[in-house]
Chain A
Amino acid sequence: MKTMANREILLFSGLAIIIALVFAWMGSAYGMRMLVEASCYAIIGLGLTIQWGYAGLFNVGVMGFIASAAFASLLVTFPVNQAFWDTEAPGMLAHAALVFAIGVAVIYGVSQSHRLGLPRKLRTLLTLIAAAITYLWVQGLMDPATTLIERNGGWVGGLGLPVWMGWIAGGIVAGVLGWAMGRITLGLRADYMAIATLGISEIIKAFLKNADWLTRGTLTVSPLPWPVPTPQEIGFIASRSAYLSITAILIVVVYILLQRAWASPWGRMMRAIRDNEFASAAMGKDINRRRLEMFMIGNFIIGVGGAALVTFTSIFDPASFVPLNHTFLIWVMIIVGGAGNNLGTIFGVLLVYVIWTMSEPAALFLFQQAAVWGDRLFDWQAPADLATRALQMRVFVIGLTITLVLRFAPDGLLPEKPVKYE
Chain B
Amino acid sequence: MALLEMNDIHGGYGGTNILNGIDIAIDADQIGVIVGPNGAGKSTTLKALFGLLRVSQGSVAFGGKTVTNMAPEGLVREGLSFVPQEFNVFPTMSVQENLEMGAYIRRDDFRYLIDQVYGFFPPLKEKRKQPAGELSGGQRQMVAIGRALMTEPKLLLLDEPTAGLSPRYMGEIFDRIIEINKSGVGILMVEQNARQALALAHRGFVLAGGRNRFTGTGAELLADPEVARSFLGGGE
* Direct chain A–B contact by Cβ atoms under 8 Å: no
Binding site for B on A (CB under 8 A): none
Q: B interface vs A, CB < 8 Å?
A: none
